[in-house]
Amino acid sequence: MKEEELAQQTPASLRLAQAEYFLGEYIRHCGPPVDSYFGMVCCFDAFLFAFVSVEEMVNEEMKKKLNEDSKFRFFKALRNITTHHSILSAPIDGKFLRPFSRSIEMSVGNTQNESSRLSLNFNVLREILDAVELERKQERYTIAYAREFLKEMEDTGNKVFIEDLMRNTLDSIKQMLANS
């Protein structure tokens, strides 16, 4: 985004553009030629901070709509955990177990497709949400929505990759703001 375009953005649209940028950087770090777990972790954390801060950049009516969206509240819970408790994607020595599994896809005999993806570990994430709620009672509403969305994802029976969830939720919130 050029400086002239940047000056024309609302604070909320600029935060969404930042979140989209960090999502793109996250994906760029998922496979060749970069493949950097550290880069993935940095970009995921930056995405969380930019994306959730949209809530502080909108009017009260839109803030209420955002906070009624279980996907948004899910990411808000992850951001709060990252801010107050632990780096979620840290592999060791964190306050909690890492709620992601790293999948590496390799191609044999076809074009090169060696990429890393982080998928959610529902049981570990549920345990983290439970522990945070015990420690921070004021987060119970955000955690309740996060649990609801976690259950919806788990009930599909499919593996959930974090970049797909980031993209879908970002698109949903962008649409919500565009329609307001």
pLDDT of the residue at 30: 84
**At CA 77, angle to CA 73 and CA 81, rounded to 5?**
170
Average pLDDT over residues 4-9: 82
pLDDT of the residue at 21: 96
Q: At what angle do helices 122-135 and 140-155 cross, to 10 degrees?
A: 170
pLDDT of the residue at 85: 65
Q: Please provide the distance, in angstroms rounded to a whole number, between the alpha carbons at the two ends of the chain.
A: 23
Main-chain dihedrals φ then ψ at residue 108, nearest 5 degrees: -115, 120
C-alpha span between 29 and 157 (Å, rounded): 27
Q: What is the pTM of this model?
A: 0.85
Report the candidate in 140, 120, 121 with the shortest Cα–Cα distance to residue 130. Answer: 140
- 92's enclosing H/E stretch is none
- Strand, coil or helix: 30: coil
Provide the residue range defining the domain that includes 79. Answer: 3-178
pLDDT tens track for 119-170: 888 998 899 899 888 888 888 888 898 999 999 999 999 999 999 999 999 9
Q: Which tokens is 67 given?
A: 């906070």
pLDDT of the residue at 17: 94
Residues 6+ apart with CB under 8 A from 105: 113, 114, 115, 117
Q: Which tokens is 28 given?
A: 């760029």
Residues 6+ apart with CB under 8 A from 21: none
pLDDT tens track for 15-61: 999 999 999 999 998 877 777 888 888 899 999 999 999 999 999 99
C-alpha span between 44 and 93 (Å, rounded): 19
Number of domains in the chain: 1
pLDDT of the residue at 170: 96
pLDDT of the residue at 132: 86
pLDDT of the residue at 92: 61
